[in-house]
Amino acid sequence: MSGHSAYEFKNPVVRWLDERLPILSLVRGQLVDFPTPRNLNYWWTFGGILATMLVIQLLTGIVLVMHYTPHTSMAFDSVEHIMRDVNWGWLLRWMHANGAAFFFVAVYIHIFRGLYYGSYRSPREILWMIGVIIFIAMMATAFMGYVLPWGQMSYWGAVVITNLFSAFPIVGKYIVTWLWGGFTVGNPTLQRFFSLHYLLPFVLAALVFLHVWALHITGNNNPEGIEVKSKEDTLPFHPYYTMKDLFAIVVFLLVYAGFVFYSPWYLGHHINFEHANPLSTPAHIVPEWYFLPFYAMLRAIPNKLAGVLVMFSSLIILFFLPWLDRARAKSARYRPLYRQFFWLLVIVCLTLGIAGAQPAEGSWLLVARLATAWYFIHFLVILPVLSFIEKPRDLPASISEAVLGKDKA
């Protein structure tokens, strides 16, 4: 997967520029000629979808900031000002709020696609690990963004999550005060969250650049989970995958637009239309839906510090995934046992999501505990054990053999 294209530009001005700064041959090599496995299915379109969502969030966010006021006494009013007085303000706000939700829809599909087809396996460990960092940065960005409208759930969500750090012995209390910029969630907290919420997306964009760079070094994984061996195995990125991705992006946007225009706060919480009130705690404090599985893990553990560590470990463990799974075949297509455990993991994560939305008591607590345990068992026990006991189906010799049949390969 060489960096630069051997393409010779005919236009003398273009050639003059490219000889001095090979930006055009870079684009040509990476976005046009880039050899891509010919057998990628629609699950591979979510990378492009995610890039689209990031751009939508950046653009709507930049304009929203032109009208938003990051102050505890004015933030809520300024959001209503955007909704009522700013031209197309309602559209920007709902695109941004639902855009975050759909960003997570896409990222979860993208991650589970990687898990199913073994995209984290060698030689893509760095690509995968940058992806995990992106996921964590996304969660931080989304959490701080949700605080900005300064509604009841914004405020109490911030209180609950920042308080997690108080679980650490001795230093916990000081960390929390430092995070808040005071002795309670207040104006300094809101202002630093605003600052970071504006900064982090650009960090995200830089991380995405690294992610794509790493991808273009190793090339795509594919549903067969075997590496590209010859030119027969690939197609140029453009027009094949640019057009396929674009089709998938438009379909994704169609579903997203359905929520933006017809159920704009379906994915949110109605309590957030009430102004933050430190004196009145909502009956149930629930984070946004995309945090619920992690929230369930946090509350599943009776000890606060242990709960916090378990929750963070559930993310950290993903960094070690390339070394926990040592099976001979990468793709679940050729792993009859792993395939079943994969779907079990999907069910377990969805169950955690449902449990996270319920009060942490009685049988829901038990469900959350079992599911949390299974999440870790899956990565720490099942994957390493499967690596040894599972007998994979016979792998095809090459992608082209799998696609075109043996005789033509």
Partner 1 sequence: MAAGDNVKKDARIMKTITKMLAAAGLALMAFAAPAWASGAERHNADDYAFSFEGPFGKYDRAQLRRGWRVYKEVCSGCHSLKYIRFRNLTEPGGPQFSKDQVKAMIKEGEYMVDAGYNADGEPVQRPARLSDAIPGPYKSEEQAKAANNNAIPPDLSLIVKAREGWDYPWYVSPFIKLVKGPGGAEYVRSLISGFEEAPNGEEKEGLNYNPYFPGHWTAMPPPLSGEDVEYADGTKPTLKQEATDIAAFLTWASQPKLEERKRVGLMAMIFLAVFALMMYMVKRALWSGVKH
Shortest CA distance to 228 belongs to which of 126, 364, 123?
Answer: 123
Please, where are the H alpha helices in 219-335?
Answer: 242-262, 292-300, 304-316, 321-324
* 125 binds partner 1 per the rule CB under 8 A: no
**Residues in contact with partner 1, shown as a per-residue x/- string from 189 to 228 under the rule CB under 8 A:** ----------------------------------------
- CB contact at 8 A, 129 and 319: yes
- Smallest gap, in angstroms, from Cβ of residue 364 to partner 1? 6
Judged by CB under 8 A, which stretch of 17-25, 200-208, 254-262, 294-302 contacts partner 1? 254-262
Q: Does 91 bind partner 1 (CB under 8 A)?
A: yes
DSSP string, 310-361: HHHHHHHGGGGHHHH---S--SGGG-HHHHHHHHHHHHHHHHHHHHHHS-SS
Question: How far, in Å, CA of 291 to CA of 39, rounded?
Answer: 33
Block residue for tokens 């989970």: 225
Q: Residue 231 corresponds to which tokens in the numbers above?
A: 């030119």
Applying CB under 8 A, among 183, 231, 361, 407 the residue interacting with partner 1 is: 361
Count of helix runs (H) and strand runs (E) in the chain? 17, 2
Asked if 354 is part of the footprint of partner 1 (rule: CB under 8 A), the reply reads yes
**Residue selected from 7, 178, 340, 350 as contacting partner 1 according to rule CB under 8 A:** 340
Pairing of strands 35-37, 234-236: antiparallel
Q: How far is the CB of 327 from partner 1 (least distance, A)?
A: 13
Please report, as residue ranges, which positions from 363 to 392 form the binding site for partner 1 (by CB under 8 A).
363-364, 366-367, 390-391
Minimal distance, residue 29 CB to partner 1, in Å: 21
Question: Using CA atoms, how far apart are residues 154 and 194, in angstroms rounded to an integer?
Answer: 13
Q: Which two tokens stand for residue 88?
A: 């197309």
**In whole angstroms, how close is the CB of 264 to partner 1 at the nearest point?**
7
Q: Is 407 in the site for partner 1 (CB under 8 A)?
A: no
- Choose the binding region for partner 1 from 2-10, 133-141, 258-266, 323-331 (rule: CB under 8 A): 258-266
Nearer to partner 1, 180 or 364 (CB): 364
Residue 185 in tokens: 């969630």
Q: Which is nearer to partner 1, 206 or 344 (CB)?
A: 344
User: Does 4 engage in binding with partner 1 (CB under 8 A)?
Assistant: no
DSSP state of 353: H
Nearer to partner 1, 93 or 211 (CB): 93
- Residues numbered 137 to 176 that lie near partner 1 (CB under 8 A) are none
270 near partner 1, judged by CB under 8 A:
yes
The helix (H) or strand (E) run that includes residue 234 is strand 234-236
Q: How many residues bind partner 1 (CB under 8 A)?
A: 55
Structure tokens, 52: 């689209």
Q: Taking phi first (over 0 means left), then psi (-120 to 50 degrees means alpha), and beta for anything else, what does residue 170 get?
A: left
Letters for 61-80 (x = contact with partner 1 by CB under 8 A, - = none) are ----------------x--x
- Give the nearest distance from C-beta 141 to partner 1 in angstroms: 25
What SS3 class is residue 37? strand
Q: 236 - beta bridge partners? A: 35
C-alpha to C-alpha distances, 214 to 57, 93, 130, 321, nearest whole angstrom: 24, 34, 9, 17
Q: Which residues contact partner 1 (rule: CB under 8 A)?
A: 38-40, 77, 80, 83-84, 90-91, 94, 235, 239-240, 243-244, 246-247, 250-251, 253-254, 257-258, 260-266, 270-271, 273-274, 283, 336-337, 340, 344, 354, 357-359, 361-364, 366-367, 390-391, 393-394, 403-404
